[in-house]
Amino acid sequence: RAIASVNGDQFRGKNESEIAIWNECARLLANALIYFNSAILSHLLGHFEATGDEEKAAITRAVSPVAWQNINLSGTYNFTNTGKLPDISEITKPIVDD
C-alpha cells in the first residue's frame, strides 16, 4: 500500500498495459524492500545471538521485514552501477556498536 500511494497515486498508467507494468514494478520494489530488510535483520540477529544479547535478539525477531518506515519512497535515487553491493555490516554498524 505504501508503494501504491507514493506521489499521490500519480504513477498509475493510462491504459491496461501501463497499469499492469506499474503493478509489476511496485511488486518488484516491494520484494526488493523485503529482501533488503531481511538481510539487515538476519545480520543483526546473528550478531546479537553471537554476542549473547538475548534482549536485542528478541526485539530483532519481533521486527517484520515487510516494514518500510526505514525506506524513503519519495527520495531521489541514483541507479548508476558502481559495481559494489551495499555493505550490510556497514549499514548495521550504528546499531551493533550501540
> Domain limits of the chain?
6-96
Q: How far apart are CA 13 and CA 7, in angstroms?
A: 13
- For the stretch 26-70, pLDDT in tens is 899 899 999 999 999 999 999 999 999 999 999 999 999 998 888
Q: Answer yes or no: is pLDDT of 11 > 70.
A: no
Q: Taking the model in full, what pTM does it have?
A: 0.77
- pLDDT band at residue 76, thresholds of 50, 70 and 90? confident
One DSSP character per residue, 45-95 reads HHHHHHTT-HHHHHHHHHS-TT--TTS-TTS-------S----HHHHHHHH
| pLDDT of res. 28 | 93
Question: Does residue 74 contact residue 7 with C-beta atoms inside 8 Å?
Answer: yes
Task: Work out the average pLDDT over 80-97.
Answer: 92
pLDDT given for residue 94 in this prediction: 93
Residue 1 has pLDDT above 60, yes or no: no
